[in-house]
A and B are shown apart, each in its own frame.
Chain A
Amino acid sequence: KAGVTQTPRYLIKTRGQQVTLSCSPISGHRSVSWYQQTPGQGLQFLFEYFSETQRNKGNFPGRFSGRQFSNSRSEMNVSTLELGDSALYLCASSLVMGDGTDTQYFGPGTRLTVL
C-alpha cells in the first residue's frame, strides 16, 4: 500500500512569492492534517481536513490556507512568503482503526526555503 506522498520535496522561493504544496493521503484515508516543523518552534499544527471540510485550524496567519479535494488529496498555500516560513511542511493522513485508535501516517515532507 502506497504511503503518504508530498510534492514537491524541495522548494526555494523568494520573499513575497506564494507557494502551493500538495499531499496525497493513503488510499482510503479521509483525514489530512498539515504541520510545520522548524528548529525553533518544533512541530506545529496548521490545519486538518476531512471530507473536503476544514475541521480544525492552528494558530497561523491567514496567509496559510488549504483545501481538500473529493479524492482526499489536499493542498496548502502560503501567500506573501516571509523568511520565517522556511520550514519542513509535513502532511499526515489518518485512519480510524477498529478498536477506536487512530494512527497518523506522515509523508516525507516538503522542505521550503524562503530567500
Chain B
Amino acid sequence: ELKVEQNPLFLSMQEGKNYTIYCNYSTTSDRLYWYRQDPGKSLESLFVLLSNGAVKQEGRLMASLDTKARLSTLHITAAVHDLSATYFCAVLNYGGSQGNLIFGKGTKLSVKP
C-alpha cells in the first residue's frame, strides 16, 4: 500500500528565510505532485514531477524529485507572507490511473513578518 509522509506538518517561518518541506513515499510511482491550499479554498496545482532528478521552479518555490530515494522536496526561498498556506504532496498510485492520487497530510506554512 502506497503511503505518503510529509514533514514538517507545521512550519512557522520569518519573511526572508529559506526552508524545505519533505515528502517521502513508500512504493514506486510514476508521478509526484505538489498542491497549495488556502484556508477555505480548493487545491491549486503547483508542480508535476515525472522523472528522477526532475526540478521545477516557479517564483520562490522549487520542487525536486529523487525517485531512487522516493523523496521530493519543496524548497522555499526568501519566504513572503503570501506563501502562507497548506502545501500537499501527492503521489500517483502505481498501477492506478491518473486520477488516483495518494496525498500527504499537508504542511501548514505560516510566514510571519
A: residues with CB less than 8 A from B are 31-33, 35, 42-45, 48-50, 55-56, 58, 90, 92, 94, 96, 100-109
Q: Is the CB of B50 within 8 A of A100?
A: yes
Interface of A is mostly: strand
For B101, the chain A residues whose CB sits under 8 A away are: 33, 35, 45, 104
| A31-B99 contact, Cβ under 8 Å, with A42-B106, A103-B48, A104-B33 | yes
For A42, the chain B residues whose CB sits under 8 A away are: 103-106
| A31-B97 contact, Cβ under 8 Å, with A43-B88, A104-B33 | yes
Q: Give the distance to chain A from B67, nearest Cβ to Cβ, in Å.
A: 15
B18 at interface, CB cutoff 8 A: no
Which B-chain residue is minimally distant from A32 (CB atoms)? B99
Number of interface residues, chain B, beta carbon within 8 A: 24
| A92-B41 contact, Cβ under 8 Å, with A42-B106, A43-B88, A101-B48 | no
B113 at interface, CB cutoff 8 A: no
Q: Is the CB of B103 within 8 A of A43?
A: yes
Interface of B is mostly: loop
User: B1-54: which have CB < 8 Å to A?
Assistant: 31, 33, 35, 41-45, 48, 50
Cα–Cα, bound, A32→B99 (Å): 7
For A103, the chain B residues whose CB sits under 8 A away are: 33, 45, 48
Name 27 interchain pairs, CB-CB below 8 A, sorted by A.
Answer: A31-B99, A33-B99, A33-B100, A35-B103, A43-B106, A44-B103, A45-B93, A48-B96, A48-B97, A50-B99, A55-B99, A56-B96, A56-B100, A58-B100, A90-B42, A92-B43, A96-B98, A100-B50, A101-B31, A101-B48, A102-B31, A102-B48, A104-B33, A106-B35, A106-B44, A108-B41, A109-B42
